Amino acid sequence: MTPCSQLTGLAIDIGGTKIAAAQIEGGKIIKRLQTATPKGSGFTEWLDCLPDLISQFPAGTSVPVGVAVTGRVDADGCLQAVNKQTMKQMPSEPLAKLIEQRIGRSVTMLNDVQAAALGEYRLNQQRYASPFAFISISTGVGGGIVAGDTLLKAPSGLQGHVGFASSRFATSTCGSGRFGTVESIASGTAIGRIASELRGEKTEAPAVFAAMRSGEAWATNIVRISALAIAEVCSDLRAIVGVESVALGGSVGLAEGYLDMVLEASADIPEIFRPAIKPAVLGHDAGLWGALIEATSQKQLADA
């Protein structure tokens, strides 16, 4: 395992809002650039941003290149939308191949939240005990699990997608086709949808949090249900894979007041089922770090 202080290579993070790339040398980001993801376009247009972006990084061709991408990446490197309402127009060919065609470099692919899980854990090992889970509560709810120093992986690429676990609080079918998922009750999208239905006017998650902070009960109730669903998923992770520590990330996960509500909800759960729950600290670059950590490991295996 390469220590984080020796990581060297390129990392790319392809998301619905931005596409970021970083050159990392000796465990430091020495150059980082990003571009806005083209709006209202398909994945091909997103990938077409890569040649320009990557041409600005003069890294040697032998260094590993890791890519984090929103969506489920299966063992063939194909990208799949789990929730078809949040991701549309997926390419049918393996994504790694499509990227390699554009940047002329072979790449290692990971789901962005799983990459963030690996980055968050490996760069903050004093903060978290293993097994570790990262849960991002944002447009959707994603996750990744690290045991030892290794990211849990499966052929389906579905591992760690805790947003598609079931929640007793959920009452609708989500875009995955599964009824009653955590994502359908706990995500920022869900918070906005429930608030809009309740109030009869479009209300986004930040407005719900603002109303909660000024003491409005309707808003507190909506956020509390989300927090209860996340607290229970943390306990499920502990019961199923023995998770010791959890980091919460994403715009909702890190919104002021949210973690306190999750901790409050956890307090009612028997102690044995309570992992330590903390706010993630690595921020927006966690996916970049995780992507490069994974690419470095894969390259070492291939070179061995």
114 binds ligand ADP (CB under 6 A): no
255 binds ligand ADP (CB under 6 A): yes
163 binds ligand ADP (CB under 6 A): no
Q: Which residue is nearest to ligand ADP, using beta carbons?
A: 188
Q: Which is nearer to ligand ADP, 189 or 235 (CB)?
A: 189
Q: Of these, 9, 15, 249, 253, which contacts ligand ADP (CB under 6 A)?
A: 15
Q: Of these, 127, 206, 241, 273, which contacts ligand ADP (CB under 6 A)?
A: 206
Distances (CA, A) of 143 to 76, 112, 164, 257: 20, 9, 10, 21
Q: Which is nearer to ligand ADP, 153 or 213 (CB)?
A: 213
Residue 161 CB, shortest distance to ligand ADP, in Å, is: 15
205 binds ligand ADP (CB under 6 A): yes
Q: Which is nearer to ligand ADP, 183 or 235 (CB)?
A: 183
Q: How far apart (Å, rounded) are the C-alpha atoms in residues 90 and 80?
A: 7
209 binds ligand ADP (CB under 6 A): yes
192 binds ligand ADP (CB under 6 A): yes
The site for ligand ADP, by CB under 6 A, has a size of 16
280 binds ligand ADP (CB under 6 A): no
Q: Which is nearer to ligand ADP, 138 or 184 (CB)?
A: 138
Q: Of these, 138, 181, 184, 203, which contacts ligand ADP (CB under 6 A)?
A: 138
Residue 122 CB, shortest distance to ligand ADP, in Å, is: 22
Token pair 């499966």 in the structure block, residue:
154
Residue 138 CB, shortest distance to ligand ADP, in Å, is: 4
Binding site for ligand ADP (CB under 6 A): 15-17, 138-139, 188-189, 192, 204-206, 209, 250-252, 255
